[in-house]
Structure 1
Amino acid sequence: MIIGRGRLFCQPRRFYSNADLKTPLIQALRERGLLTQVTDEKVVAAAETPTKVYLGADPSAESLHLGNLVPLTVLLHFYLRGHTAMPLVGGATGMVGDPSGRMTEREAMENAKRERNVGKIHAQMTKFLETGAKIAQKYGYSKPGSVEPVNNYSWWKDVSMLGFLSTYGRHIRVSQMLGRESVRQRLKSEAGLGFNEFTYQILQAFDFYHLYKHHQCTIQIGGNDQWGNITAGTDLISRLIPDGSAFGVTVPLLTTPSGEKFGKSAGNAVFIDGKLTKPFHMYQYLVNSPDSVVESYLKLFTLIPLDEIAEITKKHMQAPEDRVAQHRLASELTDMIHGEGSAANAQFVTAIMFENARATSAEILTAFGSQGLLNELPADEVIGKHWKNILALLTGKSKSETGRLVKQGGVYVGLDRRPLKSQFVESSDIEDGLLLIRIGKTEYYAVKLI
């Protein structure tokens, strides 16, 4: 639902004659900066005929993050061109842990938690593809391919070590395994490399072989740090099926302007699970993207045609303070992740918080609720209670700290941002069952009394 009486908080829907669709897919991905390496240039021709394409993710957390969206967006582009997208979650390989891009070993995870994560990540990947396909219609895309989620535990559970080594071991060269960058880096580190992580590349190679042989999947997508694992797969396929044609493509790793890698282990993850990172907070994060990266983010994360991105960038450069490019980025990507209308609601909340926009209590309840920002408290636990206690509950701050805020006059209440009349919550502070609180200039809390 998009709210705001008569207000327009999102880009008007317009339909395009998209010149990008006439460009061969691999070339189009390169023009957007979405590809860095391919295992064979024959993939350019192969990508013009519908096939099956897979992208793997390990269930090491309950949510994907913004850094994961670069390869997932590449999978979306294949899907929109009629290919079958196969989002793979490593229910089996997640037990081992991928050393790529890491200097330390991952901590072990309980099976029940891993299984929950598998389900959540599958749902996130599938939702992103399906929502992306809906948004793509306004850019001239018509009928996408299909989505076939897979969990590699479904085939690894039936493979024995002796059976695997006797059948496939002779086709795997240890010299190649030792020569791969992820292995060499870990061997140099103080942490070293366990046998479990050393063999991870074999497991991923077999995944590609299994999908190629049994599902006719011919292309694998991965980040730059997956190059060794991907080429291990194409090597294994070429040894076992000499006339086979399997390809790998890698995408750039998303980094901050300072060059720091995005991710949960780096501590700067922006999660696509709306419970972990609220749609509003994702929108605000994207709106605050530095000018130096916003054009590349528009190319990487959105389906906006390149000629229009050039127009947006030109307009942005004429008045950077308006953040036109950042607002368009935030609008497009928030909708792609959380569904159409999410960005408009985030914009509406932004207008209420920071632009003094007028709104009814009902509109605020809907807007804040849609963004996961609405708190619910029993009325008898609020009315008549000391403000410092209510604020401590909402903010997580200490009562002494919130008490100082109240005494210093830094707390406002109501749609018109009135100063507090007393140190206790009064019935007159409540409007239509809604308690709206602002602390300073940037903190806002909406409380529905139940």
Structure 2
Amino acid sequence: MTHVLDDLQWRGLVALASDLDALRAELSRGPVTYYGGFDPTAPSLHVGNLVLILTLRRLQLAGHRPLALVGGATGLIGDPSGKSAERILNSTEQVGEWVERIRAQIAPFLDFSGSYAARMVNNLDWTAGLTAIEFLREIGKHFRVNKMIAKDAVSARLRSEDGISYTEFSYQILQGMDFLELLKRYECRLQAGGSDQWGNLTAGSDLIRRVTGDSVHLLATPLVTDAQGRKLGKSSGGGGLWLDPELTSPYAFYQYFINVEDAQVGSLLRIYTFLERAEIEELEKETAQRPAARAAQRRLAEEVTRLVHGERETRQVVAASQALFGRGELDELAVDTLRAALVEAGLVQVPAGSDGLLPSAAELLVATGLAGSRNQARRTVAEGGAYLNNQRISDADAPVSTSELRHGRFLVLRRGRRVVAGVEGLLS
């Protein structure tokens, strides 16, 4: 049987570790309690956080006990980033609401029953009643400022024009205290986190060594980037690829993964799916031999969308992806799925006339940007390359009846096989 560390390494999920041999030995001796932390600094987690969530799940499936920490305390402070600006401090009420939303996003990925039951924890539970004097005497005395300022995020901010506030400077102390507290409460001996959090991870292991003399373990997952070196999903609309379907629709989520480049798809299959090694390697081979088939991208998109949004939504977005390009029935799509797909493709609003008619097909092709002019639209129609609701348009200048609106609202226009746009008809 493959050791969980070997699987994590094959998947490219071990960017940094404190001592892999010692960790391997401890994991082999029996169930280890471990934790990963998530700060509620936004109303949703994003696809970058999913790397850590799935790593927690992989360790649980291997017979270890996860603690998912949603930081009601650290979320009030904010982790210093490499950017020069301070984070905006959100209200206590706002952070409390986001804590609950993020807990609900993490929960479906872990099993909260059985021998290796997961547990949700909140660091506000052990910090809310702590006085400043107690904090400084019991925790602060163990931290050395020269080591604190050497952390990458802190040193970058110190070199910036704005510097860093004492509030954000103290973040690493709070995160270090989390690990110590979880060791005391639950015998937690491993912290997992992103590689950009390495300085904060080591703050915890250093604190534990100073307070207890014990050695614990750290495991950092990689920062996943796209082919241009940006954080994965940052190039999508809205500034991020969110797990919340209200912020990133399941259709947009699916489309992001189905459009990843061939050079990336193998590594993303390793990181974001639970497919077996043999199947992933077969998909990589197929990508090399028949890249146009995009079999690996389709499998990646389906697997990740299913993990985040469930089977029903995945079936809908796959059906929408096919129907928009003439390989399925538009009428079978849920209205929200159809709208999300058309928004992603490009959706324009067009008012209907008092006679209940929409503009002509040629005018709609121009309005959606599928044609640069009416003459170009007419040529496309004459050549048989324009479609309305997957039916070839025969008359470019005939008005379009509102009876063509799907769900009483939408038209799907297509030029050729691959270029799609949508119209939302505004009825008077």
Instruction: Provide the TM-score with structure 2 as the length reference.
Output: 0.83
Aligned residue pair count? 406
Conservation of the 8 A alpha-carbon contact between 2:330 and 2:389: no
**What is the aligned counterpart of 1:40 among 19, 37, 43?**
19
Provide, for residues 379-430 of structure 1, a one-character-per-residue CA deviation record: whole Å limited to 9, x for no partner: x999855647xxxxxxxx9x99999989957996445365788887635325
Conservation of the 8 A alpha-carbon contact between 2:409 and 2:424: yes
**Against the structure 1 CA distance between its residues 188 and 412, is the aligned structure 2 distance closer, same or farther, given a 3 Å change threshold?**
same
SS at match of 2:87: coil
Q: RMSD between aligned alpha carbons?
A: 3.7
**Against the structure 1 CA distance between its residues 149 and 406, is the aligned structure 2 distance closer, same or farther, given a 3 Å change threshold?**
farther
SS at match of 1:179: coil
Identity %: 34
Paired residues for 1:393-412 under 5 Å: none
**What is the aligned counterpart of 1:67 among 48, 52, 60?**
48
Conservation of the 8 A alpha-carbon contact between 1:316 and 1:324: yes
Partner of 1:352: 323
Conservation of the 8 A alpha-carbon contact between 2:358 and 2:402: no
CA distance in structure 1 between the aligned counterparts of 2:281 and 2:129, rounded to whole angstroms: 52
Conservation of the 8 A alpha-carbon contact between 1:53 and 1:83: yes
- 1:179 Cα deviation (Å)? 2.0
**What is the aligned counterpart of 1:368 among 337, 343, 346?**
337
Conservation of the 8 A alpha-carbon contact between 1:330 and 1:343: no
- 1:40 Cα deviation (Å)? 2.5
Greater relative CO (CA pairs within 8 A, separation 6+): 1
SS at match of 1:118: helix
- 1:80 Cα deviation (Å)? 1.4
Conservation of the 8 A alpha-carbon contact between 1:384 and 1:425: no
- 1:184 Cα deviation (Å)? 1.4
Paired residues for 1:292-371 under 5 Å: 292-354=263-325, 356-359=326-329, 361=331, 363-365=332-334, 368=337
Q: In structure 2, give the amino acid aligned to 1:28.
A: D
**Against the structure 1 CA distance between its residues 39 and 285, is the aligned structure 2 distance closer, same or farther, given a 3 Å change threshold?**
same
**Against the structure 1 CA distance between its residues 420 and 352, is the aligned structure 2 distance closer, same or farther, given a 3 Å change threshold?**
farther
Conservation of the 8 A alpha-carbon contact between 1:373 and 1:446: no
CA distance in structure 2 between the aligned counterparts of 1:161 and 1:367, rounded to whole angstroms: 50
Q: In structure 1, give the amino acid aligned to 2:222.
A: P
SS at match of 1:71: helix
SS at match of 1:235: helix
SS at match of 2:391: coil
Partner of 1:6: none
**What is the aligned counterpart of 1:86 among 67, 76, 84?**
67
Instruction: Provide the TM-score with structure 1 as the length reference.
Output: 0.79
CA distance in structure 2 between the aligned counterparts of 1:99 and 1:312, rounded to whole angstroms: 40
CA distance in structure 1 between the aligned counterparts of 2:156 and 2:209, rounded to whole angstroms: 27
Unaligned 5+ runs, structure 1? 1-21, 134-142, 375-379, 389-396
CA distance in structure 2 between the aligned counterparts of 1:82 and 1:400, rounded to whole angstroms: 54
Does structure 1 residue 31 correspond to structure 2 residue 30? no
Does structure 1 residue 443 correspond to structure 2 residue 421? yes
**Against the structure 1 CA distance between its residues 234 and 443, is the aligned structure 2 distance closer, same or farther, given a 3 Å change threshold?**
same
Name which of structure 1's ranges 81-90 and 191-200 shifts more when overlaid on structure 2. Answer: 81-90
Q: In structure 2, give the amino acid aligned to 1:89.
A: V
Does structure 1 residue 288 correspond to structure 2 residue 259? yes
Conservation of the 8 A alpha-carbon contact between 2:324 and 2:330: no
CA distance in structure 1 between the aligned counterparts of 2:407 and 2:235, rounded to whole angstroms: 44
CA distance in structure 2 between the aligned counterparts of 1:27 and 1:401, rounded to whole angstroms: 51
Paired residues for 1:3-402 under 5 Å: 22-41=1-20, 42-48=22-28, 49-129=30-110, 145-242=116-213, 244-262=214-232, 268-354=239-325, 356-359=326-329, 361=331, 363-365=332-334, 368=337, 384=355, 387=358
CA distance in structure 1 between the aligned counterparts of 2:51 and 2:270, rounded to whole angstroms: 10
- 1:211 Cα deviation (Å)? 1.0
